[in-house]
Amino acid sequence: MRPGHAVLFDLDGTLVDSAFDLHAAMVNLMRSEGRAPPPLEQFRRVVSKGARAMLALSYPDLDEDAREQRVLPFLEHYAVTVEDNPGAYNGIAQVLEAIEASGAQWGIVTNKPEALARRVVSAMGWDTRSAVLVGGDTLPVKKPDPGTLLHACKQLGVAPPNCVYVGDDERDIVAARQPESCPLPSPGATASCTNRLKTGTRTASRARLATCWAPACFAHRTVRQACDGARHGPASQMAPPGTRDGPGAAIRPGASA
């Protein structure tokens, strides 16, 4: 990559392992109701899909309206634990350093509420390094609407064809491959792909997500190799759980968001 180019990342499940803090928030919420929370490793699989997916897993016996009433209480509990134990996935620090050394910019587009996202980014020491942060409530729309990605590009002063988006959930793929985000010929200029930076993680839909690919965008070797691993490496060849960087515990996730 070079000046005038950028890499945008999803946050939870892509840059940061936030499962510990989110699970702690769910534990606190459910215990206040006399309920038993799901195990961390089971919970981790839906972290990237957002609060409603986490509540659906944790409260399978409740209908959608009942779970919706718990979104705000869950986020209130999470606001207490949000900075307790975040950690960057193994290899992320080196990738961010390489992007910066190339003269390119990097930023974050997440569906997490902006205030909470900023607290996570600050806890990671990235608040002065991330060139842009777009949260789920920054705009009237959020992923899979492509408006968040286009807004980030505008804030960076980078044209969408010169930007790549790295995420790990299907809505990341959908947002990045909308015609508004991909003004160049197939397979699209702004792309999203599952990434192998978070070594050892899994998603149930990895095979589908990894098919999203825009070769012209992956100019930086580090980012390209990471995404090559996701595109071509079958789940059986994914590296085993290892460690994560950052202030969190030295534990690797066994499944994503």
Among candidates 126, 131, 89, which has minimal Cα distance to 3?
131
Catalytic positions are: 10
25 closest CA partner among 86, 96, 76, 95 = 76
SS3 at position 197: coil
Contacts 24+ apart (CB under 8 A), 211-218: 212/173, 212/176, 212/177, 212/187, 212/188, 213/187, 214/164, 214/182, 214/187, 214/188, 214/189, 214/190, 216/161, 216/184, 216/189, 217/161, 217/162, 217/163, 217/164, 217/189, 217/190, 217/191, 218/164, 218/191
Dihedral sign computed on CA atoms, order 197, 198, 199, 201: negative
Helix pair 51-58, 19-32: axis angle to 10 deg: 50
Q: What is the DSSP string of 95-153?
A: HHHHHHHTT-EEEEE-SS-HHHHHHHHHHTT-TTT-S-EE-TTTSS--TTSTHHHHHHH
Q: How far apart are CA 92 and CA 248, in angstroms?
A: 14
